[in-house]
Structures are given as C-alpha cells and as structure tokens.
Amino acid sequence: MTLTDQSTRIRSGEELDAGTIDQYLKAHIPGLSGTPKISQFPGGASNLTYLIEYPEQEFVLRRPPFGHKAKSAHDMGREYRILNQLNAGFPYCPKAYVHCTDESVIGAEFYVMQRVKGIILRSDMPAELNFSAEQTRALCQSFIDKLVDLHNVDYQACGLGDLGRPEGYVQRQIEGWSDRYEKALTPDAPLWEPVKAWLREKMPADHVKPGIVHNDYRFDNVILDPGNPMQIIGVLDWELTTIGDPLMDLGNTLAYWIEAADPAPVQLMRRQPSNAPGMLTRREFVDYYAEKAGIRIDNFDYYYTYGLFRLAGIVQQIYYRFYHGQTQDKRFAQFVQMNKLLEQMSLQVIGKSTL
C-alpha cells in the first residue's frame, strides 16, 4: 500500500475533456507528448483538483466548483500569482505553470501547477508510518514552525504588498463573514447571533506586525516527503491567502484542531490526525506558536471563536450549494449539522472566556 496521496475516478458532473485539456496544455507548456490521463483528488470541499498525467510529466489542475460561488472566492488568477511570487520567500509553494482565463476551454478559469508527490495526512495517522508519540510531537511542532515561517515572510520583498489591506483586517473579517454567512443561510441553519455580537464587542486591535495569512492551514493541506515523512515538502490550497493579522490565521487553524479530549460529536468533524498520541493540545499549540514567534497571546479565546465562526461560514456556503442542488457531492449533506455543532462549541468558549 502506497502512502502517497492518490487520485481517483472523477465525480459525476465534474468531468474534464481530456482532448481539450491536452490541446491547451501542449500549446502553453513546451515538451509535452502523448495523451494525458485525468483523474480527481477526492479531498477538499471548495476548488476542484485534478491530476493530469502525461507519460513523462504530471500536473495538477485547479478550477472553481460548479454552482453558486461567493463573489470574491475562487480567484484562479490570484492563486496562480501567489504561488509564483510567494515561492521566493516560502519555498513550500508548488510552482505554477499556466493560468487560463478563457472560460470556453473547460467552462471556468483554471490554472495548472507542479504536482508535489508526497503523503497527505487525512483523518487518522497511517499505521504504516509507525510514528512514536515523540515523532508525532516533532512533526506537529514542524507543522507549527512552517506557519510561523509563513507569517514572518517579507511579503513586500515577494512583490505581494498589494495582496491585502492589513489596516482594519479584524473588523473586515468579522463583518465580512457575518455578511457571507447571512447570504448562505438555509432554513435549517443556526443564526449565530450571540456569537456575532460577542465577536463585535470584544474585537481586538489589529496585530502590530501583519503577515501572509494562509487562511486554510491544516495537515491535509501539507505534503510530507514519502522518503522521510517527518519532513514537510509542500503546502497547498492558497486560494484564500491574503495579508492580515497572523493571530486570526492561528484561530483559523485551531478551529480545525480537534484534540484527543474533545467529546465524541466533535471527533466526528475531525479531518486530520490532531488527536494522535503526541499531538499538541490547542493550548500547547498556541503556547508553542507564541514561543516560536516571540510574542504573547493573551486573548486566544477571541481568535479561536472567530476561527469557529469562519469555519461555520465556509461549511454553510458549501451546504448552501448542496441544499439548492448545485452539487451532488453526498459529503455535504450533513454540513448543516456540523454548522450547528460549531455554534455550540463557540458558545462554550465564550461562556468560559475571561475577555
């Protein structure tokens, strides 16, 4: 059994025409020969990701999802630019080769990038890795180290100074996600009113040192070296990246971080092995990040609650597409239940907070 991330059969309704793709890529990438085989990576719930296999070279194609899309999301050109320019300061970005703005080719914009072959950790730690608790802890710390490295990138030197506006970032995130959530409401979804009111009331000042914000930093967006799984060799999914408050990014990451002591309903949401023996708890994660970044984090409850609310917004946007029949992906049928659970988790954090 291989641990390298595998593509599978393309989901119904999300097919690509191999002949069209072949013609386009051969016109824009020199040296290609043969006929491509196209398959789909099953992970991810937003942009669609395909493997394009030529006899001597492999690529990854990214395109927006079918159906309803948030106006500012799924900007293929923006993600393509980030990969190209951020690589100079953060070498874990895959190389991007071509960006197609002609929607007549496949029905949407898309870009094609390097395939970084490696291991991607999903819900559980593969038994084949046979990691000790000490190795798992070291991998977890390396995972956090890369996030600190990203937040310390000189984005001006990378030519990405215009990627976002750090002034007023916290307020824009709270108001923006409140607005997006309301637009994606379905009759069976919670309203989140007490949480939104608390986030507005307790809003901190913007971070004194803004940085590159990945906005989706999780273990299943990190690639491990198949020859040395302790080594991180790539970071994926840059579609939401901007410049802003790194502590808001930390809150985003911790919203996905389900630890071993969390109750059973919360465990059902887990999409990464953050509960494995040796993994840091959320509190340890924050403390380690603060130590490595050389800062104090006294109001973590705020950033964690924001992360939970934002995650609920993402979940609800995806569920909205399923609810209205714009995607047939059965994974999304229970997303409204996840949304409700995230609201309860947020209320529990607020209830215990000293902010």
Helix, coil or strand: residue 49: strand
DSSP track, 102-124 = -TTTTSS-EEEEE----B---SS
**More confident of the two residues 166 and 69:** 166
Query: Percentage of residues in the chain with pLDDT exceeding 90?
Result: 90
What is the pLDDT at residue 328?
Answer: 86
Pairwise CA distance, residues 73 & 289, whole Å: 28
| CATH class (in words) of the domain with range 18-114 | alpha beta
| Cα–Cα dist 45/353, whole Å | 31
What would the pLDDT profile of 47-81 be if each residue is shown by its tens digit?
899 999 999 999 999 999 876 454 455 689 999 99
Question: Which pLDDT score is estimated for 125?
Answer: 96
Task: Of 222, 1, 42, give the one whose Cα is nearest residue 118.
Answer: 222
Give me the residue spans of the domains in the chain. 18-114, 127-352
Helical axes 246-255 vs 133-151, angle rounded to 10°: 150
Q: Give the pLDDT band (50/70/90) at residue 5.
A: confident
| CATH number of 127-352, picked from 1.20.1250.20, 3.90.1200.10, 3.40.50.2300, 3.40.50.20 | 3.90.1200.10
Question: Residue 1 has what pLDDT?
Answer: 43
Calculate mean pLDDT across residues 129-153: 98
Contact between residue 109 and residue 77 where contact means Cβ atoms under 8 Å apart:
yes
- Residue in 30, 45, 47, 37 with CA at minimum distance from that of residue 9: 37
What is the reported pLDDT for 42? Answer: 85
pLDDT number for residue 69: 54
